[in-house]
């Protein structure tokens, strides 16, 4: 495509900005969040990324079609296989993660399931940490099990159990960093080394960390997943997912996307790309507020336990400190009480809204026992570690002092 006007074609990097982080800290910076791998110029001299709203693309003549089919010309052909707006987002996320390539999907789960399907076939074995996202676990343990894929669940961040669980047919290890909702942080370099020595691929859902706090590629991880619906977008107004990592593996996930049709539409890509512009600013504020809130909660007599990797009391604090710039915007804690009193606490909060997501500018709060595990009894929830008194607080960008004051007034009413 013309360097003077049109947005970059898939795979084209000559007209893209390089990743702009400092040598001392290669993670996302304010500058790279704003510019990333964007082309220097967009079509029609637009400052912001144009939304290329089309389902198909035309060829000016047969010669151009032949050039494209022979791989001599890079351009788009059909909307299910690519879009210039979407490709700018993909290039940007790849740059922020320090990855070779990235592919965007219609949701975080579409990205996750496509990546898993790309790497796992019938008769394969998958290892998951037991605190992986509930839907990811269900996809592997129920859906893929119908097609002969076996699995083993191991304890949270337990690399000894992981090493023991790997079999000759193990193809993939799946985890999050940090996990949802207990915010465990696995030792990524050690995990990657264990898996690499056994020719097993690794997939990390890094939604909670974002590339501002952690870049798993730097620690040897093969593929990274983002529910871009969350922090990358940052405004709770779009569904999108991204797979980033080694180009060959991303290409396999993209092939699955092209077949299943789990594509990211250009308007969604535009909204996520716009959200990334303020990612570094938002995450810095959310890191600071979440740390302060966790410290305040840990001191409160009505709080039984706080799960936040920035606290020395967290079992993975040392690992998180070694790997992460900040510890993220989610704080999980247990209250002293029961299901009903925990609900009263949540209802007494004035700033956060009750909602199942996270990562936006607004603070959100949920009681997992009701939001995600309502169908289970108290005893069943206790068995899997989801206590009735558990609260997940996703910090927004409101004033830190006001968030803490609001939590304190709600606790005072118990």
Looking at the structure, tell me whether residues 181 and 306 fall in a common domain. no
- Would 29 be classed as within a structural domain? no
**Based on the domain organization, do 227 and 290 belong to the same domain?**
no
- pLDDT tens, residue by residue, 94-103: 999 999 999 9
> What's the CATH number where 93 sits?
3.40.640.10
CA angle 94, 175, 119 (to 5 degrees): 65
Do 210 and 356 reside in the same domain of the chain? no
Q: Strand 303-307: give its sheet, edge to edge.
A: 303-307, 330-335, 390-394, 364-366, 353-354
Are 321 and 375 members of one domain? Answer: yes
pLDDT tens-digit map of 260-306? 999 999 999 999 999 999 999 999 999 999 999 999 999 999 999 99
Residue 376 included in any domain = yes
Question: Is the pLDDT higher at 74 or at 14?
Answer: 74
Residue 95 shares a structural domain with residue 170: yes
In a domain, 66, yes or no: no
Confidence of residue 24 (pLDDT cuts 50, 70, 90): very low
Provide the number of structural domains found in the chain: 2
Q: Same domain, yes or no, for 225 and 299?
A: no
User: 302-311, pLDDT tens digit by residue?
Assistant: 999 999 999 9
Q: Is the pLDDT of residue 220 over 50?
A: yes
Predicted TM-score (pTM) of the model is: 0.89
Give me the CATH number covering residue 339.
3.90.1150.10
Question: What does the block give as tokens for 4?
Answer: 């003077």
| Residue 90 forms part of a structural domain | yes
- Percent of the chain exceeding pLDDT 90 equals 81
408 falls within a domain: yes
- Whether 25 contacts 325, CB under 8 Å: yes
User: Are 224 and 314 in the same domain?
Assistant: no
Q: What is the DSSP string of 248-306?
A: HHHHHHHHHHHHHT-BPPHHHHHHHHHHHTTHHHHHHHHHHHHHHHHHHHHH-TTEEEE
Mean pLDDT for the chain?
91
More confident of the two residues 227 and 44:
227
Neighbouring residues of 139: CB distance < 8 A, sequence distance ≥ 6: 109, 112, 113, 116
Instruction: Answer with the one of 247, 276, 305 that is the final residue of a domain.
Output: 276
110 and 94 within one domain: yes
Domain span at residue 296 reads 279-412
pLDDT at 42: 83
Domain-terminating residue out of 256, 276, 296: 276
Q: What pLDDT, on the 0 to 100 scale, is given for residue 23?
A: 34
In 3D, which of 40, 43, 4, 42 has the Cα closest to residue 20? 40
Same domain assignment for residues 406 and 393: yes
Query: Looking at residue 10, what is its pLDDT?
Result: 37
Residue 361, in any domain of the structure: yes
* Rounded Cα distance, 127 and 154, in Å: 7
pLDDT score at 18 = 35
Residues 388 and 402 in one domain: yes
Among the candidates 222, 250, 276, a domain finishes at 276
Q: From residue 169, how far is each of 128, 151, 152, 250 by CA, in Å?
A: 14, 10, 12, 22
Which candidate, 139, 136, 179, places its Cα nearest to that of 155? 179
Same domain membership, residue 257 and residue 138: yes
Return phi, psi of residue 122, to 5°. Answer: -60, 135
Residues 116, 172: one domain? yes
């Amino acid at each position: 495509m013309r360097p003077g006007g049109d947005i970059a074609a898939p795979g084209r990097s000559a007209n893209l900005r390089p990743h702009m982080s400092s040598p001392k800290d290669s993670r996302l910076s304010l500058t790279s969040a704003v510019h990333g791998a964007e082309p220097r110029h967009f079509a029609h001299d637009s400052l912001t990324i144009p939304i290329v709203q089309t389902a198909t693309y035309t060829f000016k003549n047969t010669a151009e079609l032949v050039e494209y089919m022979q791989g001599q010309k890079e351009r788009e052909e059909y909307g299910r296989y690519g879009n210039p707006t979407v490709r700018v987002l993909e290039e940007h996320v790849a740059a922020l993660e320090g990855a070779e390539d990235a592919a965007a999907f219609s949701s975080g789960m579409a990205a996750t399931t496509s990546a898993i399907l790309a790497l796992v076939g019938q008769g394969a074995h998958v290892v998951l940490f037991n605190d992986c996202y509930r839907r990811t676990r269900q996809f592997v343990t129920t859906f893929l099990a119908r097609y002969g894929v076996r699995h083993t669940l191991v304890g949270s961040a337990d690399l000894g159990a992981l090493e023991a669980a790997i079999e000759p047919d193990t193809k993939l290890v799946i985890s999050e960093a940090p996990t949802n909702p207990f915010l465990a942080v696995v030792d990524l370099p050690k995990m990657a080394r264990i898996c690499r020595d056994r020719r097993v691929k690794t997939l990390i859902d890094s939604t909670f960390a974002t590339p501002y706090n952690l870049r798993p590629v730097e620690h040897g991880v093969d593929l990274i997943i983002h529910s871009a619906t969350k922090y990358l977008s940052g405004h709770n107004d779009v569904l999108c997912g991204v797979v980033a990592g080694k180009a060959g593996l991303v290409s396999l996930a993209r092939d699955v996307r092209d077949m299943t049709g789990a594509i990211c539409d250009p308007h969604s890509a535009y909204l996520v790309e716009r959200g990334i512009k303020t990612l570094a600013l938002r995450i810095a504020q959310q890191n600071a507020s979440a740390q302060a809130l966790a410290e305040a909660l840990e001191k409160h007599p009505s709080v039984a336990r706080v799960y936040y990797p920035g606290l020395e009391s967290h079992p993975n604090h040392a690992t998180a400190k070694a790997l992460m710039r900040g510890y993220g915007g989610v704080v999980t804690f247990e209250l002293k009480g029961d299901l009903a009193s925990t609900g009263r606490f949540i209802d007494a909060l004035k700033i956060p809204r009750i909602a199942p997501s996270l990562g936006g500018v607004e603070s959100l709060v949920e009681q997992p026992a009701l939001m995600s595990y309502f169908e289970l009894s108290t005893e069943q929830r206790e068995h899997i570690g989801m206590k009735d008194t558990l609260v997940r607080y996703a910090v927004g960008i409101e004033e830190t002092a006001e968030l803490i004051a609001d939590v304190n007034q709600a606790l005072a009413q118990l």
